[in-house]
Amino acid sequence: MTEQVESLIRKDYSAGFHTNIESDTLKPGLDEDVVRFISAKKEEPEWMLEWRLKAFRAWQEMEEPTWAHVHYPTINFQALSYYSAPKSMADKPKSLAEVDPELLDMYAKLGIPLHEQEALAGVAVDAVIDSVSVVTTYRAKLEEAGVIFCPISEAIKRFPELVKKYLGTVVPQKDNFYAALNSAVFSDGSFVYIPKGTRCPMELSTYFRINEMNTGQFERTLIVADEGSYVSYLEGCTAPMRDENQLHAAVVELVALDDAQIKYSTVQNWYPGDKEGKGGIYNFVTKRGICHRNARISWTQVETGSAITWKYPSCILKGDNSVGEFYSVALTNNFQQADTGTKMIHIGKNTRSTIVAKGISAGRSQSAYRGLVRINAGAEGARNYTQCDSLLIGDRCGAHTFPYIESKNSSAQIEHEATTSKVSDDQLFLCQQRGLDAEKAVSMIVNGFCREVFKELPMEFAVEAGKLLEVSLEGSVG
């Protein structure tokens, strides 16, 4: 079985191409001048530069965290370039027709033909390549509904009051080492604002792509759902295959005001490195949302990529009766390492949270779930349900669970369930005896294991996520 499983886990990374786009890349290194350069390049107002500099100064005083269950060589932050933009972006395109055809080709290769987006009703795409937002489709239709969906660099100029009011309120500049770095040097990302009482008329979507060598990608996403509004947002991520490790340190902030609902889904397929563990993305991401009264935030993530994942999408349940949800599938293969989970901070009364985390480990990979459920003293009647399941494929991988529960209110109800299982020889044999080949069998068993999470994804992405798992597992049995 082990040998069988081993060979099923072998599969090439299908998004691993590099596009020949001339780009404008800053020489490696990071100091205040670099921060000023980025800010100037973005033609930012003075307050934004000050905000970045404050973050940069804080970052210089901070130390890289080492508590996660991941191991990698020390990152030389001075060896990275902090800004890279496709050259043709210098004269910003006004419409799709003006976008560099090579860029559009690249998106087509990724399976996101922007031209066809118009036909594919329901999904508006903001595409971020290296550090710059390329084009946002569907803008007109969204503007009609009063929805703002644009690159954050543009929002800083066009909607300074909104950005100023919310940026850094959920993830402060000094929150952690990577968030501080991101605050200093982020070059783009998406901004979403849904007005009061508005149901966003379509799924919003961002695709992130790291293309250039030796660049870090630091995008920043801010989503504000005003009172009584609803939005569903999806992000997808890929990168070319490189022997070097690339750094990705994003920050996502969600603000759900009273009675608002935000559904944030991620399908992350950053290059995981090769079969020997060479190359791959270091993914150090801070994602957090705040829920005001009766608000709800759902994080759903399917993570199959990155060499290292360090990521804990969290909810601060500040308002009474607010709800936080976290549904996660994290698959690691070969030499990948993932330390991921969530934090649910219950502050308001009758706040509820649900955590369903599914970890799948194959090859020699290591997967850890790390979760915090904190019930503050004032969170009368708070409830949490956590379910944490690990599935092992083969006998050289590892699954670890680090749940932290802190309750300061005796009326709180907290449940935690955890299981660890293996894809068994008997399951595999049953499938094969019914005519399925081993690869199909493993992917079916793994998909079954993830079912509870997939059903939380928007339909078309659930299908995509299923396929992604299949691809990521190919070669793990044979």
Collect all residues with Cβ–Cβ distance below 8 Å to 134 and sequence separation of at least 6.
86, 89, 93, 99, 103, 127, 128
User: What is the number of alpha carbons within 13 Å of residue 348 lying toward its C-beta?
Assistant: 22
Residue number, 150 or 441, with CB nearest to another protein: 441
Residue number, 248 or 358, with CB nearest to another protein: 358
CB of 132 to another protein, least distance (A): 41
Among 144, 410, 434, 459, binds another protein (CB under 8 A): 434
Q: Does 440 bind another protein (CB under 8 A)?
A: yes
Q: Does 467 bind another protein (CB under 8 A)?
A: no
Q: Does 282 bind another protein (CB under 8 A)?
A: no
Among 214, 387, 409, 447, binds another protein (CB under 8 A): 447
CB of 448 to another protein, least distance (A): 3
Q: Does 470 bind another protein (CB under 8 A)?
A: no
Residue number, 95 or 433, with CB nearest to another protein: 433
From 124-132, 306-314, 327-335, 437-445, give the range in contact with another protein by CB under 8 A. 437-445
Give dist(CA 38, CA 90) in Å, integer.
14
Among 449, 465, 469, 473, binds another protein (CB under 8 A): 449
CB of 78 to another protein, least distance (A): 47
Q: Does 429 bind another protein (CB under 8 A)?
A: yes
The residues in 246-265 that bind another protein, with binding defined as CB under 8 A, are none
From 231-239, 253-261, 361-369, 424-432, give the range in contact with another protein by CB under 8 A. 424-432
Among 92, 436, 470, 471, binds another protein (CB under 8 A): 436
Q: Does 1 bind another protein (CB under 8 A)?
A: yes
Binding mask 162-201 for another protein (x = CB under 8 A): ----------------------------------------
Say how many residues touch another protein, by CB under 8 A: 25
From 109-117, 232-240, 286-294, 419-427, give the range in contact with another protein by CB under 8 A. 419-427
3-class secondary structure per residue, the chain: CHHHHHHHCCCCCCCCCCCCCCEEECCCCCCHHHHHHHHHHCCCCHHHHHHHHHHHHHHHHCCCCCCCCCCCCCCCHHHCECCEEEHHHHCCCCCHHHCCHHHHHHHHHCCCCHHHHCCCCCEEEEEEECCEEEEECCHHHHHHCCCEEEEHHHHHHHCHHHHHHHCCCCCCCCCCHHHHHHHHHCCECEEEEECCCCECCCEEEEEEECCCCCECECEEEEEEECCCCEEEEEEEEECCCCCCEEEECCEEEEEECCCCEEEEEEEECCCCCCCCCCCEEEEEEEEEEEECCCCEEEEEEEECCCCEEEECCEEEECCCCCEEEEEEEEEECCCCEEEEEEEEEECCCCCEEEEEEEEEECCCCEEEEEEEEEECCCCCCCEEEEEEEEEECCCCCEEEEEEEEEECCCCCEEEEEEEEEECCHHHHHHHHHCCCCHHHHHHHHHHHHHHHHHCCCCHHHHHHHHHHHHHHHCCCCC
Q: How far is the first Cα of the chain from the last one, in angstroms, to the nearest whole number? A: 9
Residue number, 108 or 431, with CB nearest to another protein: 431
Count of C-beta atoms within a 10 Å radius of residue 17: 13
CB of 391 to another protein, least distance (A): 10
From 38-46, 299-307, 328-336, 427-435, give the range in contact with another protein by CB under 8 A. 427-435
Give the residue among 275, 214, 277 at the shortest CA–CA distance from 240: 214
Give dist(CA 19, CA 199) in Å, integer.
37
Q: Does 424 bind another protein (CB under 8 A)?
A: yes
From 99-107, 175-183, 293-301, 441-449, give the range in contact with another protein by CB under 8 A. 441-449
Q: Does 395 bind another protein (CB under 8 A)?
A: no
Residue number, 228 or 466, with CB nearest to another protein: 466
Give dist(CA 45, CA 275) in Å, integer.
46
From 36-44, 46-54, 300-308, 434-442, give the range in contact with another protein by CB under 8 A. 434-442
From 42-50, 235-243, 361-369, 430-438, give the range in contact with another protein by CB under 8 A. 430-438
Residue number, 420 or 432, with CB nearest to another protein: 432
Among 430, 460, 463, 467, binds another protein (CB under 8 A): 430
Q: Does 451 bind another protein (CB under 8 A)?
A: yes
Q: Does 452 bind another protein (CB under 8 A)?
A: yes
CB of 449 to another protein, least distance (A): 5
Which residues are near another protein by CB under 8 A? Answer: 1, 4, 424-427, 429-438, 440, 444-445, 447-452
